[in-house]
Amino acid sequence: MILALTNATLACPVGGVMTGNLLVRDGAIVATGIVDIPADAEIVDCGGKTIAPGIVDLGVAKVDRAAFRAGGIVRIGLMPDQSPVLDDPGIVQRAALIGKPDLWIHPIAAATRGLEGHDLAEMAICLSAGAKAVGTGRHWIADSGVMRRVLAYARDLDVTVVTHAEDGGLTAGAVATEGETATRLGLPAAPAVAEALAIARDLMLAEDTGARLHIRQVTTAAGFDLIRAAKRRGVAVTCGITPAHLHLSEIAVSDFRSFALLSPPLRAESDRRAALAAIADGTIDVLCSGHEPRGPEEKRLPFTDATSGMAGAETLLPLALMLVRDEHLTLQRLFALLACNPARVLGLDTGTLEVGKPADLMLFDGQAPWQIVGDDFKAEAGNTPFDGLPVQGRVLRLWKGGREVR
């Protein structure tokens, strides 16, 4: 099968942004730029709109195909906190297969049995069953001896460890970050330093073992400083963030709105500004949705009783494009954060528009205006802290391996 995408703006994390055509043959990109169109090709006139790599969303909590299609997501790194936990090769293999061919699911296997933080899981067998990374899930491994063994084992397996960076001894029972907002609302809160403490420990262990470490969400100025320093020392560390921690501060919870209850919690305005600086200077490697749809039975409760999480898949692209509009980064670097870099963390050879790469492609209109309305989401639930926000950027069409996802 030959597919020709013509009259397009091509946004490649490696090749930059240019106008031209893109040719797909048998599921792979075979030419970009000025391309001769074969007579038997299926032609799609893009009308000047943008073709970019399909999004690789690293660290989603739930498989939500309709939401991923609407958000331009073709691959996901699935968190190990499933039911049952992804600590068994049979469970991992089933998770890796259920989305194909339209959605490729790359499980993150549990680093410890049941994600309890004690005994190491069968990581090698889970990797052979289809896992692409190992992780600690929504929690931090408190036992440093266990964490060192996890990192050493992962190093020997040549696989990345995906961690959650909050010291559980400080965050237990907390729903907010310590500060004026939490005090005024009377919310149980944890100090922001809980993140830096967890990051510092894990960075030291990663440096000691030589393992690859990905911190799924870094949200504080102190955390970013630690990541920068570790990268300068040559530590194999990467980190991610969601749009919520780039566009919102703890003020968003001032009306006790549970849709703004996230993990990690929203931070001070100074931390939000530090996050924007970290996006601009390259400290942050991955931009992810944090997609975790929660229904009213979990969200429409008093703030302290509600469950954390947001439905982020459908808003990832427009909220990310706001960073380009505000000149925090270029369109080329944006798709490094959304596609190329998360693919590398998972050991996948995809996420660019280079010749020979899988034709995982998204056509979008970066200027299309719309208003975020959670009730209109394709997702299983519409719990977004951005409800009512006017944005720009709509996914028009999506292809996985050259096959259109409908």
- What domains are defined for the chain? 54-354+366-392 (3.20.20.140)
Alpha helices in 100-192 (DSSP H): 123-128, 144-157, 168-171, 180-185
Nearest to 385 by CA among 317, 311, 313: 311
pLDDT in tens, 163-180: 999 999 999 999 999 999
How many residues belong to the chain? 406
Distance CA 200, CA 206 (A): 10
Question: What distance lies between CA 288 and its chain's CA centroid?
Answer: 2
**pTM assigned to the model:** 0.95
Element (H, E) at 322: helix 316-325
- The first and second tokens of residue 43, run together, are 């032609």
Q: What is the largest CA-CA distance in the chain?
A: 68
pLDDT in tens, 25-80: 999 999 999 988 999 999 999 999 999 999 999 999 999 999 999 999 999 999 99
Q: Quote the pLDDT of residue 76.
A: 98
Nearest to 77 by CA among 309, 327, 346, 310: 346
Q: Quote the pLDDT of residue 1.
A: 85
Residue 251 DSSP SS3? helix
Whether the per-residue pLDDT at 135 is higher than 90: the answer is: yes
Distance CA 24, CA 358 (A): 9
pLDDT in tens, 279-337: 999 999 999 999 999 999 999 999 999 999 999 999 999 999 999 999 999 999 999 99
Contact 64, 47 (CB under 8 A): no
Which is higher by pLDDT, 1 or 112?
Answer: 112
Q: Quote the pLDDT of residue 349.
A: 96
The arithmetic mean of pLDDT across residues 187-208, rounded, is 98
The arithmetic mean of pLDDT across residues 122-147, rounded, is 97
The arithmetic mean of pLDDT across residues 127-154, rounded, is 97
For the chain, give the percent of residues with pLDDT over 70. Answer: 100
Distance CA 357, CA 370 (A): 32
- The first and second tokens of residue 122, run together, are 């069968």
Residue 75 DSSP SS3? strand
Question: For the sheet containing 104-110, what is the strand order?
Answer: 55-60, 73-78, 104-110, 133-135, 161-163, 213-215, 237-241, 286-287
Distance CA 361, CA 323 (A): 21
Instruction: Tell the burial category of 15 from Cβ atoms under 10 Å away from its Cβ (0-12, 13-18, 19+).
Output: middle
Contact 243, 319 (CB under 8 A): yes
Confidence of residue 250 (pLDDT cuts 50, 70, 90): very high
**If you average pLDDT over every residue of the chain, what do you get?**
96
